[in-house]
Amino acid sequence: MNTNIIDFINQNQVATICFVDKQNKPYCINAFYCFADNQETLIFKSSFGTTHDDFVKNGNPTSGTIVQDQNNLAKLKGIQFSGVIVNQDEINKRGLNQLYLKKFPISIAKPGYIWGIELNFIKFTNNTLGFGNKTVWQKEN
């Protein structure tokens, strides 16, 4: 994965994540995340009983965005991503839950579960390199 993409993801902490329910209706959430770049996985925590509980199933496809809070169009940076859900059991097996708790220790106080998105595609827009500059990354099979 391109180091500019990794740096951008690590410099931010909130992503919008999009799901599709059983009736093919879209549903989005905003969530704090951390990034396990060695496993190309974004890690999140959700409360129990949320609407998206049904969508967070291992292997389900998902997509989302991470955008820098920026008013100047010339400095705008952001990514669009897609990947597959990694459920809490798999996150625990990979030891990624500790990474999230280290970045957001206050999250221990709120009951919930830790899950992730194993990334397979990213489009990084970086207008600081020229308006509309895009870098695309795709996971190798």
Ordered domains of the chain (ranges, CATH): 3-138 (2.30.110.10)
CB 51 within 8 A of CB 23: no
Q: Tally helices (H) and strands (E) across the chain.
A: 3, 7
130: left (phi over 0), alpha (psi -120 to 50) or beta: left
Output the pTM of the full model: 0.91
Q: In this predicted structure, what is the pLDDT of residue 51?
A: 82
Closest-CA residue to 31 (of 93, 123, 91, 117): 117
Residue 48 has pLDDT above 90, yes or no: no
Closest-CA residue to 33 (of 99, 78, 122): 99
Residue 7 has pLDDT above 90, yes or no: yes
Q: What is the mean pLDDT of residues 54-60?
A: 81
Q: In this predicted structure, what is the pLDDT of residue 132?
A: 87
Residue 49 has pLDDT above 80, yes or no: yes
Q: In this predicted structure, what is the pLDDT of residue 24?
A: 86
Q: Please give the C-alpha separations between residue 50 and each of 45, 96, 124, in angstroms, as whole numbers.
A: 11, 22, 30
Q: What is the mean pLDDT of residues 41-51?
A: 91
